[in-house]
Every structure is written in C-alpha cells, then in structure tokens.
C-alpha cells in the first residue's frame, strides 16, 4: 500500500516500517573507514593539494595531478571536480 509521494518517490508501507525498525542503525555516525568518509577525506585532500599547487604557481605539477584525477572514477564524474577543472581552464592556469 502506498503511503504517499515524497519528491516524486513512492514510499511503501513496508519500506517505512523497515526504516523505522532500523532507525538506530541509520542514525549511527559513520566510522573512519566508511566509504563515504574515506571518499570525503580523499576529495578534501585533493582540493588542498590543488590549492597549494595553484598558490605556489606549480602549474606543471597541477596539470599532472589534474590528468591523474581525470582518470580516477571518483573524481572524473564529481561535479565539484568538473567545475574546478573548468575554472582552472577559464583562468588559463591549466
């Protein structure tokens, strides 16, 4: 039985019951090795590295880093990475 429509997504009665039953599991903080945490740390590290390279005008190293990241599945489809690359190109940095 459908219980409503939230943002275009149908929620079923069973799905809501399951979420409520497992709410404790869903509300726990993620540990350091959780994939989302690992990915966020990796992205933050990359952004810090890019910032340091831009500030120190090490553009050859920056180009090499961007090339390596463009081949990485995590970064090549990430919106913030794509926007960063576009901005670097627009500003003539890479």
pLDDT in the model for residue 6: 56
pLDDT of residue 55: 95
Residues 11 and 39 in one domain: no
One domain for residues 40 and 78: yes
- 42 and 81 inside one domain: yes
Whether residue 17 is found in the same domain as residue 59: no
CA distances 24 to 5, 28, 30, 53, Å, are 24, 6, 12, 43
Q: Note whether 20 and 36 are same-domain residues.
A: no
pTM score above 0.85: no
Residue with tokens 């340091």: 52
Q: 19 and 41 share a domain?
A: no
| Domain around 57 | 31-94
pLDDT digits (tens, 9 = 90+) for 54-88: 999 999 999 999 999 888 887 877 888 889 889 99
Looking at the chain, the whole-number percentage of residues with pLDDT higher than 90 is: 30
Q: What is the mean pLDDT of residues 18-44?
A: 85
| pLDDT at residue 9 in the model | 55
What total of structural domains would you count in the chain? 2
Q: Does 14 lie in the same domain as 40?
A: no
Burial of 43 (0-12, 13-18, 19+ CB in 10 A): middle
Same domain for 38 and 23, yes or no, is no
Average pLDDT, the chain: 83
């Amino acid at each position: 039985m459908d219980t409503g429509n939230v943002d275009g997504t149908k929620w079923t009665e069973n799905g809501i019951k399951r979420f409520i039953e497992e709410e404790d599991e869903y509300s726990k903080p993620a540990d350091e090795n959780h994939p989302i945490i690992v990915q966020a740390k990796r992205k933050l590290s990359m952004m810090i590295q890019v910032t340091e390279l831009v500030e120190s005008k090490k553009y050859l190293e920056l180009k090499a880093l961007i090339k390596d990241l463009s081949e990485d599945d995590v970064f090549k489809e990430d919106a913030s990475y794509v926007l960063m690359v576009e901005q670097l190109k627009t500003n003539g940095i890479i």
